[in-house]
A and B are shown apart, each in its own frame.
Chain A
Amino acid sequence: MSVAASSPQEARASASAASEEGARVRAGCALVTGASRGIGAAIACALAADGWPVAVNYRADEQAAQGTVERIERDDGRALAVRADVTAAEDMRRLFETAERELGKVLVLVNNAGVRHDDLAISLSDEDWQRVIDTNLTSAFRATRHALRGMIRERFGRVINLASIVGPRANAGQANYAAAKAGLIAMTKTIAVEVARRGVTVNAIAPGLIETDMTADLDGEMLSAVPARRAGRPEEVAACARFLASEQASYVTGTTLYVDGGLSA
C-alpha cells in the first residue's frame, strides 16, 4: 500500500523517482501498427521519447512512415519503418520477426491500424463489413497473441488497443466500425484478466473526434456535441498511450481511457 510522502522533500524525491520510472527501463521495443500518420505516428513519437526503439508499421504510405522515423531520429530516438498488411497472417509474422530481429523483443504493442468503410447497415456490403472487422479487430487479436508470448516470459508487457467512442456509443453509418471497436474493448478486458499476474497490462484508448486524415470528412455536427468545443490532437491521444506504456501504469489494466473532450461523459 502506498503512503503519502510526509514532507515536501520526500514528495519531490518521490516525484523524481516516478519520473525516472516513466522512461523505458526494459530491453525491448515498441511496435505501433498503422504508424505512418495521425494517431499512430504521434504514439510512435511519444514512445520513442520515453526511450523505446519503435517499429513503425505501415501498409502503403512508405513516405509517411519514413517521415515518422525521421521525426523520431531527429530527437535522437531509434525507429524502423516496417511494411506489413496487418490483415495478412504471414505479413504479421514477418512484422514481428523484423521488429524483434532489429530492435528487440516487442514489449509494448499498440494496435492502432484501422480503416473506415461507412454505410448504413441496410446497404453495407459483406466486403466492407469484413474489411473493417479484419483490419480493426482481427489484426489486433493476432498481434496481441504474438506479442503476449514474449511478454509473459519477460514478466512485463503493455498492450494498448486503439478503440473509439464509436462502439460504446452509436454512430449511424458505422455498424462495422462500431462492432470492431466495441469488440476491441471486450477483447482488451478479457485478455487483461488472462495475463495480469505476469506483469502484462492490456488497455484500450477510446478517442473521440481527433484531427486526422481519417476524420477530415466528418461534418461539424459531431464537433458541436463535444463539450470541449474542439477536436482533439493526435498528441493528446499519444500522451495517454505513453502513460499506459510506462512503469507508472503497472496497476492499470483492462480499462478503457476515453480521450474525447468529454463527449462520452
Chain B
Amino acid sequence: MSTAVTQEQVEAVVVESLETFGADPSLITPDATFEALDIDSLDLAELSQIIHEHFGVELKGSDVAEVKTVKDAVELIASRL
C-alpha cells in the first residue's frame, strides 16, 4: 500500500462511513465508542469492506472484535497500511 495515505485520510473515511451507518455526526469523536454511536457488528463488517476498497487493508472479524472506539479503528487501520 502506498505510504502516501495518512491517518487523517483513514479517519475521514471512517467518519464518513459511520455517518452513512446512521451515527449522529455530533457524537463522532476519536474517543466515542461504537456502542455509544449505535454502531453494531454488521456496521463494522461493512466498514471492513469499505476500508479494503479504499486502502487495500484486510481486516478480519477477530481484528474488528477488539475495536471499541473510533480512535481504535483508525489506529488499527493505519498500522496495517
Contact = CB atoms under 8 A, between A and B. Distances in A.
Contacts of B42: 152, 194-195, 197-198
Contact of B49 (A149, A194, A195, A197): A149
A194 B46 CA distance: 12
Interface residues of A, number: 7
Chain B interface residue bracket vs A = under 10
Interface string B16-50: 00000000000000000000000000100110010
A93 interface: no
A153 interface: yes
A201 B17 CA distance: 22
Contacts of A194: 42
Contacts of B49: 149, 153
Interface string A188-200: 0000001101100
Contacts of A195: 42
Nearest to B40: A197
A192 to B, nearest CB: 13
Interface in A96-145: none
Contacts of A198: 42
A195 B40 CA distance: 12
Interface in A128-187: 149, 152-153
Contacts of A149: 49
A149 B45 CA distance: 9
A200 B46 CA distance: 14
Nearest to A196: B42
Given A152-B42, A152-B46, A197-B42, 4 more contacts: A149-B49, A153-B49, A194-B42, A198-B42
10 contacts: A149-B49, A152-B42, A152-B45, A152-B46, A153-B46, A153-B49, A194-B42, A195-B42, A197-B42, A198-B42
Sorted nearest first, the 8 A-B pairs with minimum C-beta distance are: A152-B46, A149-B49, A194-B42, A153-B49, A153-B46, A195-B42, A198-B42, A152-B42
